[in-house]
Structure 1
Amino acid sequence: MEFRQLKYFIAVAEALHFGRAAESLHLSQPALSKQIQALEDSLEIQLFDRTKHWVKLTAAGQKFLEVARSVLQNVEEGIQITRQIADGRAGTVRVGLTEASLFCLAPSILRTCRKRYPQVDLLLSSGGTETHVEALRTHQIDIGFVYLPIREPTLVVEPLYEESYIAALPESHPLAKKQPISIHDLANEPLIFYPRSLAPVLYANFIKSCEQAGFVPTIVQEAELAQTRLGLAAAGVGITFVLADVKTLSAKGVVYQPFADNFLTLKLALAWRCTESSSVVHEIIKMIQTTVPELSVK
């Protein structure tokens, strides 16, 4: 059975006239009759009762008409989706987000994607820079939000913008009423920070900044998630740090304060594989770049 024979069969079944069906298909009537006979032979089913004066579907032919229309519709839809994938307008893209981008960028990215690319499914996950770099290497994600610096020759890294950290303090803390606060205010204060293994560059920069200010920071506890660090701060364990975009998180018992010297920052970037060939992935990269509020760090 050939795909074109389904089209021929549907045309005859709808017209119930070989001459009119042949004309609509731009075929000769003998050629159309030969194709219908070949279809019946391949199926070993009689699809039409026909005489010199009339044509009608058999019971088997009526059922096969339903099947043929369904097959034709599925094939046409499949071709359309395939074309959309080839054009970058359909498919699945896996995006790795950082803690802050999960809150500040993910909503606008998802809204824009649904509007521009309704046939694209974005699968979002969260993690740190090293996690995303490894996931890109092993093809577990397609695009990753990461923090600079990164030295990975297999990736394209596009800087986006710089994010600043702010302090999160127990609302009863004396510094909760001082705005802004200084790095020097952290001396002798119990601090809650990221694990060194999660953000080695950030950790090292923080220690260095404190030492340059004349003190060694007292880190009493480490926690990966902002929600955990904020909970510990609310419980009075110490002062913690979150990116400014994360302050949209509602945290009872916590007060956010900016730093006067803006001593702790991170540069956010977008990363993807140098060998990436998927049209839809490149379309989503372009979409993210236009969705991000600024591209000021180059």
Structure 2
Amino acid sequence: MSDSLTFRLLRYIKASAESLNFTRAAEQVFVAQSSLSHQIGKFEDNIDVTIFDRLQNGLKLTPAGRIVATYAENTLREWEQTLVMARAVQRNEVPPLRVGFSSFVNAKLLEKFHEGYDRMFSGCTIQLLSGDPLLCLQRLDGRTLDCAILPLPIDEKLYCVQQIAQSPLVVCMRSDDVLADLALVDIHEVAQRITIFPDPELHPSAHACLLEMFGELGISMHLSCSARTPSEIQWMVKERFGLALIDQLSPLDSGLITRAIVGLNWTADTAFVYVSPTDHVALPFVERFLRETWMESRRRRLPSKVRVPEQMELLV
């Protein structure tokens, strides 16, 4: 896009797109109507794009103009957010970012998030608050948390949700299990032995997804033991209460191993969740970077017949 696109022109375009009238737009940005319309017209000539159709009773955005007007609106909003954050950092007025997290979120994600936030906003602090997903969502609703890192799914009608990580679900077993010599396991052959699951009350929607995944294969879930933390799940496996499905990237206790499931793409998905970007001055920057990084990580994936764990490198 032409270097002549300045913040001044962006404001002119935004005001004109909102009012669909050069006169009213000029009043909004405190400039003469002739100057505003001339500069927009000159800019249209420079980029060879007609932004507005001039009508007898006002303006009409062209299809190409809608793209430019959207860019103007987004850029100006991001610039205002940047100014607010920069001033807050300079004045040492950035409040601690209160981040909730579930025990089922990989600790490496939290470490990367903390390190990245400190690089972005040096000297600004993070407060971590552990809790099951439902509790974290309640705290978000009550504004005692600014954001959270939680397992998916999360209702995107109620919250802003940006996926940040994904890795395969694998079967966790004792290293002396009869299946330990296999490189891959068949879900139909081991399903009856998979009896240890996270407590359904911790994250009902995630449990419903598991039920659906099993159901699509014509398999019934055999939940006989439930746990509130990953460490409880691994303890139950070690004590021979059954097998469990866990995130492939989870650290394993001694005496335990994992095996991939042949032919399935079941994954543990993690997201950055918040209610409103106005809840904390840093949220727009964090969400934007996580979104861009996630999209880039998806583009970089190499096709492979073997499912490769994918974990986003946060804020690097």
The TM-score by the shorter chain falls in which range? 0.5 to 0.7
2:94 touches 2:281 (CA, 8 Å); kept in 1?
no
**What residue in structure 2 maps to residue 142 of structure 1?**
146
Does structure 1 retain, via aligned residues, the 8 Å contact 2:171–2:260? yes
Q: Which of 150, 159, 166 is equivalent to 1:162?
A: 166
Counterpart CA distance in 2 for 1:87 and 1:148 is 37
Structure 2 contact 196–224 (Cα < 8 Å) conserved: yes
Deviations 1:49-97 (A, max 9, x none): xxxxxxxxxxxxxxxxxxxxxxxxxxxxxxxx99434789833001122
Counterpart residue type for residue 220 of structure 1: S
8 Å Cα contact 1:89-1:280 kept in structure 2: no
Aligned residues: percent identity?
Answer: 15
Which of the numbers 105, 128, 133 marks the counterpart of 1:129?
A: 133
- C-alpha change, 1:127 and 1:163, in structure 2 (3 Å) is farther
Following TM superposition, by how much is the alpha carbon of 1:215 offset from its aligned partner in structure 2, in angstroms? 3.9
Q: Provide closer, same or farther for how the CA distance between residues 85 and 257 of structure 1 changes in structure 2, counting only shifts above 3 A.
A: same
Instruction: Decide which of 185, 191, 195 is 2:195's aligned counterpart.
Output: 191
Structure 1's 188 and 277: CA in aligned 2 closer, same or farther, altered over 3 A?
A: closer
Distance 1:187 1:242, change over 3 A: closer
Name the aligned partner's letter for residue 276 of structure 2: C
Q: Which residue of the other structure, out of 203, 206, 210, is the alignment partner of 1:202?
A: 206
TM-score normalised by L of structure 1? 0.62
- Structure-1 separation of matches of 2:265 and 2:109: 23
Instruction: Please say if residues 193 and 240 of structure 1, whose CA atoms lie closer than 8 Å, have aligned partners that are also in contact.
Output: yes
Instruction: Return the index of the structure with the highest Cα Rg.
Output: 1
Of 85, 107, 112, 1:108 maps to: 112
Q: Using the alignment, how far apart are the partners of 2:131 and 2:139 within structure 1? A: 10
**Alpha-carbon shift at residue 226 of structure 1 (Å):** 0.5
State the match for 2:53 in structure 1.
none
Q: Report how many residues are paired.
A: 215
Shift of the alpha carbon at 1:218? 2.5
The corresponding residue for 2:262 is 260
1:169-217 deviations in Å (ceiling 9; x for gaps): 0112111221211211224325211112123233233334334444433
CA distance in 2, matches of 1:151, 1:211: 22
Matches within 5 A, 1:24-103: 83-85=87-89, 90-103=94-107
Counterpart position of 2:281: 279
How far does residue 110 in structure 1 lie from its aligned partner after superposition?
1.6
CA distance in 2: counterparts of 1:260 and 1:192, whole angstroms: 20
User: Using the alignment, how far apart are the partners of 1:196 and 1:270 within structure 2?
Assistant: 21
Contact 1:96 1:124 in 2 (8 A): yes
Residue pair 2:146, 2:280 contacting (<8 A) in 1 also: no
Structure 1 distance, partners of 2:234, 2:228, is 11
| Structure 1 residues 106 and 151: CA distance shift in structure 2, 3 A | closer
Distance 1:190 1:288, change over 3 A: closer
> CA-to-partner distance for each residue in 1:136-185, whole Å, 9 max, x for gaps?
11011101123444336453222334332111101121112212112112
Gap regions ≥5 residues in structure 2? 1-84, 300-316
Provide closer, same or farther for how the CA distance between residues 180 and 280 of structure 1 changes in structure 2, counting only shifts above 3 A: same
Cα displacement (A) at 1:227: 0.6
Task: Name the CA distance, whole Å, in 2 between partners of 1:166 and 1:87.
Answer: 48
Query: Relative to 1, partners in 2 of residues 1:111 and 1:219: Cα closer, same or farther, differing over 3 Å?
Result: same
User: Residue 213 and residue 277 in structure 1: after superposition, are their counterparts in 2 closer, same or farther (change >3 A)?
Assistant: closer
What is the rounded CA distance, in whole Å, between the counterparts of 2:209 and 2:292 in structure 1?
30
Q: 2: distance between equivalents of 1:244 and 1:109?
A: 20
Distance 1:192 1:154 in 2: 30
SS at match of 2:223: strand
Structure 1, unpaired ranges of 5+: 1-80
TM-score (norm 2): 0.58
- Give RMSD over aligned pairs: 3.1
224, 230, 255: which one pairs with 1:220? 224
Give the residue type in structure 2 aligned to 1:126. S
